[in-house]
Amino acid sequence: MTSDKPPAKSPNKHEQRIAQIKSKAPQGDLLPPEETTSSVEPVADVKAKPPAAKASRRKQAVGTTQGDFFTPVLYDVGARDSRGVMDVAVFRLSKKNKRANSVIRYDLPDGHVEVSSGPYGMASVWDYDIVLMAVSHLTEAMNRYRDGKGDKPSQYFRPHIGDVLKFCRKDNGGNQKDAVVGALQRLSTTFVGIERTNMLRNKLMTVTEGENLIGPFRAISNAKDKVEYIEIKIADWMYQEITQGTKPDVLTVHPDYFLRESGISRFIYRLARKAAGKDTAAWGFRTIYERSGSEGSLKEFTRSLREIIAADDLPEYSLAEEDGQVGPVLRMVHRSQINNWKETPPVDAPPAPEQD
């Protein structure tokens, strides 16, 4: 006896893709089924209060209680960075050379730092923007936790791709989204090894440690293969530094930092932020060159540095070149102190004569 029912329609490739995404439970917490076929949500939707069902699914991420990590609008949180890595480039400054399978070594007065890369290339200073975002939101979440306004944040950070691009002040285009995956590959395979000698418990001790810039990561895409969410594990040393102490050693970063196109310009801002703070500091050109990891010659680096000084458009800081005892010196002055600095004599200058 034959059936009058028409044969079941086999699912097409698009439907199979949707079913595959829905079947993965860990992704469900980040990418609800009703969002799998949509593009990146507009900025206005990020600010809107999510429905109770969606909020519940996100709070049920395995092994975490990270709901408060997303309380503020993500890109409205002020950028912060770990002070300990702001005077050495733990990334490459060049856009052209990926520096795959290479090592940069910095010899310091109390030890050394080595940055090594894998087959995807060394993480760049622009890739590091994702780390800045994670550190910034972890610090904000810990501040709320200490004030009794939320749970202790997880070591895992799960932002929407639109929030990442907004925080880093990037265009919300398809190429930018795809580039995020490459950045995550480089960050997760760039290893920073540190050896420092210090006094510990009244003894001179040498500590050797190392870790990748980020731990494992995931990128969650929709049915059109556009990245919608990323998930990274914040490096252990960064997470411990921010969550274990009562006052984490982080510094705010001006939002215009993310608009800097030059890698050297970004490094100079980071150096000024740590060395000068709200005052002034002076570093020799050669020392800055050696801390930058630049592949070019000192002469080429000096030319680029003088162009940055001439432009004098760095966020928060004014720059000037001075004569030093062993070569040119970069003077970095917080703009709030510019008048006081101009009233002081230049480096190595004799004292001004007294007035009657």
What is the C-alpha separation between 313 and 128, in angstroms, rounded? 22
Question: Is residue 48 pLDDT above 80, yes or no?
Answer: no
CATH of the domain at 325: 1.10.10
Residue 31 lies in a domain: no
Q: Output the pLDDT for position 93.
A: 96
Same domain, 274 and 169: no
The total of structural domains in the chain comes to: 2
Q: Output the pLDDT for position 7.
A: 52
Same domain, 300 and 188: no
Give me the helix-helix angle, 298-311 and 285-292, nearest 10°. 110
DSSP secondary structure string for all residues of 93-136: --SS---TT-EEEEEETTEEEEEE-BTTBPPBTTTTHHHHHHHH
Q: pTM of the prediction?
A: 0.74
Residue 4 lies in a domain: no
Question: What is the pLDDT averaged over residues 275-287?
Answer: 95
> Token digits for 177?
């989204």
Same domain, 247 and 293: no
Q: How confident is the model at residue 156 (pLDDT cuts 50, 70, 90)?
A: very high
> Token digits for 223?
């049915």
Question: For residue range 236-279, what is the model confidence (pLDDT) as tens digits?
Answer: 989 998 998 777 788 899 999 999 999 999 999 999 999 999 99
Backbone φ, ψ for residue 100 (5° rounding):
-70, 140
Domain that holds residue 279: 261-348
DSSP secondary structure string for all residues of 144-205: HHHTTSSPPPPSEE--BHHHHHHHTT----HHHHHHHHHHHHHHHH-EEEEEEEEEETTEEE
Question: Is residue 109 pLDDT above 80, yes or no?
Answer: yes
Q: How confident is the model at residue 55 (pLDDT cuts 50, 70, 90)?
A: very low
> Token digits for 121?
């290339």
Question: What is the pLDDT averaged over residues 307-320?
Answer: 96
Give the count of beta carbons closer than 10 Å to the beta carbon of residue 260. 20
Question: Is residue 71 pLDDT above 70, yes or no?
Answer: no
Q: How confident is the model at residue 356 (pLDDT cuts 50, 70, 90)?
A: very low
What is the C-alpha separation between 49 and 31, in angstroms, rounded? 17
Boundary-marking domain end, from 237, 259, 281? 259
Tell me if residue 229 falls in helix, strand or coil. strand
What is the C-alpha separation between 110 and 215, in angstroms, rounded? 27
Same domain, 297 and 276: yes
Same domain, 248 and 298: no
Residue with tokens 């570093």: 283
Tell me if residue 83 falls in helix, strand or coil. helix
Beta bridge partners of 200: 203
Q: How confident is the model at residue 16 (pLDDT cuts 50, 70, 90)?
A: low
Cβ contact 334:315 at 8 Å: no
Boundary-marking domain end, from 222, 238, 259? 259
Q: How confident is the model at residue 198 (pLDDT cuts 50, 70, 90)?
A: confident
